[in-house]
Amino acid sequence: AQSVTQPDIHITVSEGASLELRCNYSYGATPYLFWYVQSPGQGLQLLLKYFSGDTLVQGIKGFEAEFKRSQSSFNLRKPSVHWSDAAEYFCAVLNNAGNMLTFGGGTRLMVKP
Amino acid sequence: DAGITQSPRHKVTETGTPVTLRCHQTENHRYMYWYRQDPGHGLRLIHYSYGVKDTDKGEVSDGYSVSRSKTEDFLLTLESATSSQTSVYFCAISDGAGGNIQYFGAGTRLSVL
């Protein structure tokens, strides 16, 4: 069965600094990978996805992620963080049958002024 | 929230009582999902539906049942609520195309006392 690990439970960065959130997955085939963001009291919003092709994918709000098969990773990055990026971020992988997402435990991002 | 309405948004109930949560969509999507969100666990799939009257179990289905009598409505029932079912519950929908991207509702916060 597939699994997703987000090693960092909490991360604090200063506004304007760069950001990288880690995601490692376990999956037998070529994975379909997603990053979602959840603002306090809200549902999850899709930031970006990787299905195939270019391993660097661009998403909304200035985020990007890079798929590295050799490292089983799909890390999320942003060059300059804004205070509004404070939220919880979830990495997820789709199963073989295409009907079930498995989520990581999430990383809570705090942004210092 | 992509035409998804969850009701109620908040509920407090007592152990042993039945509880039904409703998810309503206006997108006419085929797939609907119920997840629960608990700290450190991300989101875990409870049940999902791939059509009217077609449902299947997810990772944490014990103690839960679902029904889908119309395309637009997916009900989650806790037959006899327990304190371990205190959680935030999210509904998601998908049209099943292009990697089965799921869109999430705003969530229902359930407290079982």
Average pLDDT of chain A to the nearest whole number? 93
Is A60 at the interface with chain B, CB within 8 A?
A: no
Each residue's pLDDT tens digit, B63-92: 999 999 999 999 999 999 999 999 999 999
CA distance A57 to B52: 35
Range B11-28 average pLDDT: 97
Is A77 at the interface with chain B, CB within 8 A?
A: no
Each residue's pLDDT tens digit, A28-52: 778 899 999 999 888 899 999 998 8
Q: Which residues of B touch A100 (CB under 8 A)?
A: 45, 48, 58-59
Cβ–Cβ below 8 Å for B90 and A101: no
Is A55 at the interface with chain B, CB within 8 A?
A: no
Among all chains, which residue has been given the structure tokens 């987000």? A6
Residues in CB range of B61: below 8 A, 6 or more apart: B46, B47
pLDDT of B1 reads 52
Task: Give the CB-side neighbour count of residue B49, counting CA atoms within 13 A.
Answer: 25
Q: For the stretch B56-67, what's the b/e string if a residue is b when 16 or more beta carbons lie within 10 angstroms of its beta carbon?
A: eebebbeebebe
Confidence check: pLDDT of B98 > 80? no
Q: For the stretch B21-43, what's the b/e string if a residue is b when 16 or more beta carbons lie within 10 angstroms of its beta carbon?
A: bebbbeeebbbbbbbbbeeeebb
For residue B39, name the pLDDT band (cuts at 50, 70, 90). confident
Range B51-64 average pLDDT: 94
pLDDT of A42 reads 86
